[in-house]
Each structure stands twice: as C-alpha cells, then as structure tokens.
Chains A and B, each alone.
Chain A
C-alpha cells in the first residue's frame, strides 16, 4: 500500500494505492489516526490507485469513520471502481458511506 496526502482548502485528500488488506490495513489505520490526532477532520479518500481491498481494509475505513464521528469530522470516498467497488457492494459497505465518482465531486459534497 502507498499512502499520499494533499490538503485542498482545509480538506485532506488521501490517495491510497496498491492493496488494503490484512497486512496493510494496520498501517493505514496508524497513518489516519495520526492525521486525525493532528487536527484534520475533513477527508476525501481517493481509491483510484487501489487495486485490492478485503474486509480488513474495510475495517480500517470504518475505524477512520468512527474516529471522525467522535470529532464531528467528515469523510467522503471517491473513485471507488473495479475490484474495490465489487467488495464494497458485496459487504454492503457502499450503503454506509458517502461515495462520489471523483475527488472534485467529493470535495463539493463536503463543502
């Protein structure tokens, strides 16, 4: 997994690439916790570069949402396509989160 961030007008865009699975989900959680503890409360997670996600990855996203809820934060997902979208649909995860087709649409949703 690789993890990149970019701040756009107070919203942090997290671009995650590669695999979000049993092995990499703890690292994802760790980085997200650090960002939230650092005062960030509005996130767009961009899945455009993510090839694979398992339920371990979904749990990492759920932890992120719970941490943000506790701080009145917000998160929106973007570019949930291919394999990742299939897993979201299989697990019912797509009903739990705001999902937009692109980062710009996600930013607009959070605005």
Chain B
C-alpha cells in the first residue's frame, strides 16, 4: 500500500507539473467560455455538458491519458520505472489513479467556470435544481469518458509514445460525431456518452440507453486495463 502511495505521489507530481495538463485545461475553459449563455440556466449548463459529452471527454481525457503513459517512452524514462521495488502493475494503477483524479478536477473546474460565467453574463432563471441536475449529468458523462481512456493507455504503451493515442482520440471523436446519430450509435463506445446525455435530457431517466451500451463501455474499459497491465508486465521494454 505504501509503495502504491509513493507511486501516486510521484505520478501526481509529474502530471500536475506538466504543460500538457494546464494547456488542455486552458483550451477547454476557452471553448466553454465562447459557447456559454442561453435562455436560462438549463440551456447554459446543458450547452457545456453537451460539449463535454461530445468533444471534451474524448479529446481532453484522451490527451491527458496519452501524455501520462506516452511521455515515459517519449522522454525515454520508461526504463527507470521497470526495475524498481514497486511492481509495474502498481505503476499502472498509480498512473490511472492520477488520470482519474485530474480529469475529475478538470471537470469540476469547467463546471465552476460555467457557473461563474453564467453569473457574470447574467443568465436568467437560476435554479439549484438545474445546477444539481447538470452536475450529476456532467459527472456521469465524465465517468463514461474515463472508462474509454484505458484503450488510450494501452495504445500509448504499445506505440511507445503519445502521438498514436492522440491520433486515436481524434479518430474516435470523428467516428462518434459521424456514426453517433445512426443506428450503430448506441453500440459505438465513443458515441454512447453523448447519446446517453441527449436521451436522459429528454426522458429524465438515469440510464436511458439499453443495457448493452453500458456493458460495452465497461467491456472496453476492462479490455484496455487488462491489455495495459499485461503489456507493462510482460512485453519487452526495449
């Protein structure tokens, strides 16, 4: 447990001092800023949540994951991590924990920023219910996107860098935007978060898509985690 804690501290230090994290956050806040406003708070916060479900999650979380795993290969520091008194599996868990932590922090910062902007530009019809509902939706969408990050980590490890997984994140974004509205949408992991959001806004239920969609998200996550763990433990680290 102590070794996991040590690994989390080190990984947190590396990510929190990375220009990629802060650059990404500034970009997301900027886009949130230019898309803010609306007839009421539900529309204002809904616009931000939709951006999150369709673009921010795939690109923002994907880039942070790609960087966290890929930088070790790009900076050639991977060899410092593979013969330590800490298992390689523990390093992978620590990296994943730090990604989850910072993606949630980024999500909450964007939400707080949207609230501040709404107040500053004087969006009418403020309601605690609307804010609360929007926060729950946002955190649910963030959780779905975090499930989709594990294949990014696997690709970063296999390709030994961050370019391939970032390209993958862009591709999944394109696929989600083009194939999401078709009948295939509920079965494409990357379009599930946005579909979930649009249906839950209309129907008011917590999990409006069929069970298969949520199972697909969990299966993708498990495959990514198992693949990444296996790669770190078994693959030759040349």
Q: Do A and B bind each other?
A: no
Which residues on B are within 8 Å of A, measured CB to CB? none
